[in-house]
């Protein structure tokens, strides 16, 4: 049987009309590919639109302007085109991804003088748009963690103790129009699994390209305006002792005739508190992994992804 990416309306959980049904559907999806598309998430469209508008303007600026949002040695802010390789996180050499990005963690969002904002006066609009966006995603992640807790046989608020002072990363990625033939195997985003707990991805309206490996072939993730793609990261797979899955995915290049298209995506990588102790939540199986903190797990993963060539 081919596993698919289901589309799940989560509003019956939040409004209390049919929480068990939502929990059961999400548990199923997490056991299968660990990928799902959610509707009924309650995030107002204008918050998403403002984020898209602010980040489109940001990426359209000259590189010199964007580099004002970068400081050597500081994690976050602007990262130039093709300086990272998602594929490399799997351990082998892989070509750089055909994208540029911008990243902010919660401590950046809360600090107007963080290096990620560059010249605060001219970029205040960007900061405010991303602040609203960030906390909207935080709320979606909190709801998902409640659903996850119930699905894993815990109280609804179980994960709060692990996430209350999280410093999750919001990554915004711009995949520019293709200028030249890519290197062999070079993609907009190489095949990888996400590292953390759960990712909330918004890729509408410039959507096409995200694919998930179902064990046999690459499947396109359903593209539906106003929805989020949710996927589990490696930390959640480990935390559930492999009962749930973190699955390989990638962003493909546009077809030959569509090279002038660009693509924008927002990925909120929800990560538990740095000091959260991750030990198997599955009581029906012997633990397969050592206990680790969320912070240790993250650092090990991120180091592997840097392009060294
Ligand atoms: O841009 C996308 O649609 C997905 C990007 C992604 O998977 C990632 O950055 O982890
Ligand atoms: Fe990813």
Which residue puts its alpha carbon closest to atom 1 of ligand 1?
265
Mutate to test the pocket of ligand 1, among 187, 248, 267, 302 (most ligand atoms within 8 A of CB): 267
Q: Is the CB of 266 under 6 A from ligand 1?
A: no
Q: Dihedrals φ, ψ of 174, to 5°?
A: -115, 125
The predicted pLDDT at position 309 comes to: 45
Please state whether the peptide bond connecting residue 205 to the residue before it is cis, i.e. omega within 30 degrees of 0.
Answer: yes
Nearest to 4 by CA among 215, 263, 302, 225: 215
Nearest to 29 by CA among 140, 150, 143, 151: 151
ipTM of the complex: 0.99
Q: Can you list the domains of the chain with their CATH numbers?
A: 7-305 (2.60.120.330)
Do residues 298 and 195 touch, judged by C-beta distance below 8 A?
yes
Query: Which residues make beta-bridge pairs with 270?
Result: 198
Atom of ligand 1 at shortest distance to CA of 175? 1
Could you read off the pLDDT of 209-219 as tens digits, one per residue? 999 999 999 99
Residues with Cβ–ion distance below 5 A, ligand 2: 194
Query: Tokens standing for 154?
Result: 């815990």
Q: Is the CB of 249 under 6 A from ligand 1?
A: yes
Could you read off the pLDDT of 178-233 as tens digits, one per residue? 989 999 999 999 999 999 999 999 987 667 899 999 999 999 999 899 999 999 99
DSSP sequence for 155-170: -TTTTHHHHTT--PEE
Atom of ligand 1 at shortest distance to CA of 209? 3
Atom of ligand 1 at shortest distance to CA of 194? 10
């Amino acid at each position: 049987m081919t596993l698919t990416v289901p589309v799940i309306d989560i509003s019956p959980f939040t409004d209390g009309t049919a929480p068990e049904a939502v929990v059961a559907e999400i548990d199923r999806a997490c056991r299968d590919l660990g990928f799902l598309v959610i509707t009924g998430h309650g995030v107002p469209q204008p918050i998403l639109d403002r984020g898209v508008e602010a980040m489109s303007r940001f990426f359209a600026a000259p590189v010199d302007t964007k580099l004002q949002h970068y400081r050597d040695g500081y994690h976050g802010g602007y990262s130039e085109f093709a300086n990272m390789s998602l594929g490399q996180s799997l351990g082998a050499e892989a070509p750089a991804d055909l994208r540029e990005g911008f990243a902010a963690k919660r401590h950046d969002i809360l600090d107007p003088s963080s290096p990620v904002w560059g010249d605060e006066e001219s970029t205040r609009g960007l900061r405010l748009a991303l602040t609203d966006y960030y906390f909207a995603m935080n709320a979606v992640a909190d709801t998902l963690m409640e659903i996850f807790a119930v699905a894993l046989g815990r109280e609804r608020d179980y994960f709060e103790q692990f996430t209350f002072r999280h410093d999750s990363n919001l990554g915004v990625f711009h995949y520019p129009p293709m200028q030249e033939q890519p290197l062999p195997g070079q993609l907009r985003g190489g095949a990888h699994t996400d590292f953390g707990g759960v990712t909330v991805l918004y890729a509408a309206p410039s959507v096409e390209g995200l694919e998930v490996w179902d064990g046999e072939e690459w499947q396109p993730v359903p593209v539906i305006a106003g929805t989020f793609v949710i996927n589990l990261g490696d930390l959640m797979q480990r935390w559930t002792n492999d009962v749930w899955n973190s699955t390989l995915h990638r962003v493909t290049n546009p077809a030959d005739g569509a090279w002038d298209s660009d693509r924008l995506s927002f990925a909120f990588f929800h990560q538990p508190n740095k000091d959260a102790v991750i030990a198997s939540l599955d009581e029906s199986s012997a633990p397969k992994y050592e206990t680790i903190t969320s912070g240790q797990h993250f650092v090990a993963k991120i180091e592997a992804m840097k392009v060294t060539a």
